[in-house]
Chain A
Amino acid sequence: MRIAELVSIRSVFSRREDGQYTDSARTYQLILKYCLNLKRNRQFENGVDQSFTLWEITDGLTKDNHNLSPKPTKNRIENRQSTIKKKLHNLVDLKLIRISGSRPAKKGSGTTLTYQCTNFGYLLAWLIKSFDESNDEELIQNEIHAIVREIFTIREQTSASNILFSKFVKKCNEIKEFRNIILLFRQGIFDDNVIKISDLFSYVWRFDFEDLQTRIRFNTLFFETLSELDSETQELILYALKLDIERRMKAVVDNFENYEQARFMLRAEYNKVVLEGVCWGDCDRPIYVGIDLRDYRKSVVDSYSEQTRFLSRNCPECNKDSFSIRII
């Protein structure tokens, strides 16, 4: 059986053992950069169409090497078309590129598919550019901010989390903290758990800054923004957070049998998250607790460091200061 390559956001940034990007990652990056250049060139020409065909992008990507390998255009493009097509389809799966329609073929009576980069694709393209040595930091920051603002424009069917993100990003920009959001995006693309683009945004929400003060500042801003939303939106956000934390907890619990029972009992409590902790005192066993989400998030942000990966509390059963909960 032939199996397709499994792609994730990390595929775009995967490196070989010598630290260089893999050929595959390089091709993904070139495709996304091509889209960015196409958008800018067409904007200069006052055009709005940012779509391209497989032939056009293969031509664009292989032109630079043309002088080194003086093959006729047709051969040059046909040789690389199959690889570029596979990569394009993988990027479509990752929602970084979309199939935008079709155009009449230049030769014959058929049609050919057209592709277009999505806002997520442009976001990644700018993140790729941010790793270039000669990057213009301010330009990149402005461009990423514009894209993020567009992605999170509030519409009738916008989800509660996106409403929060939209308002949060606006606040960050006003107080000149948006560069820290970019920092999180740059960290997130190398995280093992970031498979889809939605995982990248979930990663950003965790505010996993190395610097404790930055983490506290962002978490304060998070709760400030949350409290400004209507109560229904707040409930939906807390419930989404509960699901996210419990999903990650599930992956690390020692006793899933007991954890699933506790999680089931508190399934309707949208503002409580169920966690597995261990009492190292008299109880000497795992104990399952439902903790207020806001308290949990605040404790995690305040106490997390490379050395501290556990929260300490009084044991809910023996009441001694011997209860620790793994931070996830």
Chain B
Amino acid sequence: MAGISSISDIFRKDEDGEYIRSNARLAQKILSYTLVAQKESPAHKYDEIFYDRDLARWLLDNYIEYVERYQYRPDNRTSEPNRIEYVLRRIKDLLNDLHNLELIEFEMAEQRRGTSDIITVYRPTFAGHLIALLIEIMESEKPQRPDISTEIYNLFDTYFKEHHSSYDKFYAALFKKYKDKGLFDEFGIDILISRLNSSIEIRAINHLVHRLDLLAFDSAEKALQYADILDEVLKELDPNTKALLFYEIKLLLEQEMTTRVQVMHKDFEQRRFKLRGWSDRVVLEVRCKNCGSFDVADSDILYYLRKSNLASYNPVRESECSKCHTKSIILPRL
């Protein structure tokens, strides 16, 4: 193990702006190298194979820690093959971690020419390539972005042609809508990047892509536009996909709610049980900000998503409290 046990570990920083994992930056550079390998290959396929020694050689010239180490005496006298040997163990450990996160695949080993040594070959997965492209965007200047965005869109497009869960179908439709409206950069890519840079725990690629929660936008107008597109796409889904997707969202929200119930444990459990067959309704513990009492309510999922996503931008009318009869019920933001 090289200390990278989730995708978040590759990006997470402490309060001083330093990477929490000492190997975070190296992991980013390894993923960046997969793009170099792709560009150098004749077919330009994203899942082009690469070798650990070629990777090590590239990192010696492009990873700042290694560049600095071999810049001055006495280390600058170390021959290149020896430099590669010295750094290879750490790189291989990190490749193992990236393999465990399903960002890199190990391919069938090849025999080194003229020897009995076995060489492992590596290739990035869809997720690895996506993260590599997002890293490239994070490191690049704005004018370079369009090409990469198109590549990311096409990557997702290929992925969605082979994956058909309700979330996949929903995201295929959502990304297409972004593209048609010329918003893929702003809503597709920027949201993925802001999730990578947030404190959300992202263990697998699904945790990065399959989310409906709204992150901070710099204006209420933009937030509203995002919520409108979300609404539009959800309403346009075919009935079966919509039912499956809403059921998945219901399960996720109610699971989160279970851990946050403060008072009405029994009532929450009973209502959740009663509405277990209703895929489009989510059960919540709500609080009255006037009298402070707690209650259990159920809400239409579409209504809940919109209301909770827009709450911090656009004050919405509150529901009536059954105890003090004022319109002061607050929905939890899950």
Contacts and interface: CB of A to CB of B under 8 A. Distances in A.
B13 A257 contact: no
Contact of B255 (A159, A243, A261): A243
A257 B199 contact: no
B164 interface: yes
Contacts, number: 83
Interface string A214-252: 000000000000000000100110011001000100000
A264 B168 CA distance: 16
A243 B251 contact: yes
Contact of A268 (B15, B20, B267, B276): B276
A3 interface: yes
Contact of B201 (A6, A159, A261): A6
State which size class the interface on B falls in.
Answer: 35 or more
A86 B243 CA distance: 43
A247 B253 CA distance: 13
A239 B273 contact: yes
A6 B264 contact: no
B34 interface: no
A5 interface: yes
B269 A160 contact: yes
Contacts of A247: 251, 255
Contacts of B251: 243, 247
A192 B20 CA distance: 18
Nearest to B8: A6
The residue in B243, B269, B273 that gathers the most chain A C-beta atoms within 10 A of its C-beta is B269
A1 B199 CA distance: 10
B166 interface: yes
A67 interface: no
B263 interface: yes
A5 B21 CA distance: 11
A66 B266 CA distance: 50
Given A159-B266, A159-B269, A257-B165, A5 B14 contact: yes
Nearest to B201: A6
Given A2-B17, A235-B273, A247-B255, A156 B266 contact: yes
A156 B15 CA distance: 43
B248 A5 contact: no
A235 B201 CA distance: 33
Given A3-B199, A267-B276, A240 B13 contact: no
B211 interface: no
B266 A3 contact: no
Contacts of A236: 269-270, 273
A268 B273 CA distance: 9
Interface in A260-275: 260-261, 263-264, 267-268, 270
A159 B268 CA distance: 8
Interface in A162-216: 162, 192, 195-196, 198
A158 interface: yes
A68 interface: no
A55 to B, nearest CB: 21
The residue in B243, B251, B267 that gathers the most chain A C-beta atoms within 10 A of its C-beta is B251
B44 interface: no
B164 A264 contact: no
A262 to B, nearest CB: 11
A280 interface: no
B199 A4 contact: yes
B101 interface: no
Contacts of A232: 270
B89 to A, nearest CB: 14
B163 interface: yes
A1 B197 contact: yes
Contacts of B279: 264, 267
A159 B165 CA distance: 33
Interface in B262-297: 263-270, 272-273, 276-277, 279
B233 interface: no
A6 B12 contact: yes
Nearest to B197: A1
Contact of B276 (A3, A6, A239): A239
B255 A3 contact: no
Contacts of B165: 256-257, 260
Interface in A1-57: 1-6
A240 B261 CA distance: 15
A157 interface: yes
B155 interface: no
A251 to B, nearest CB: 9
Contacts of A6: 8, 12, 199, 201
B199 A157 contact: no
A157 B266 contact: yes
B244 interface: yes
A240 B266 contact: no
B244 A240 contact: no
A230 to B, nearest CB: 13
Contacts of A86: 15
B259 interface: yes
A195 B276 CA distance: 26
Interface in A85-105: 86
A3 B263 contact: no
Given A156-B266, A192-B5, A263-B247, 4 more contacts: A2-B13, A2-B16, A157-B265, A247-B251
What are the nearest 6 A-B pairs in CB distance?
A159-B265, A268-B277, A257-B165, A256-B165, A157-B266, A257-B164
19 contacts: A1-B198, A3-B197, A5-B15, A5-B20, A6-B8, A6-B12, A6-B201, A86-B15, A157-B263, A157-B266, A162-B265, A195-B201, A198-B258, A198-B259, A240-B269, A257-B165, A264-B243, A267-B276, A267-B279
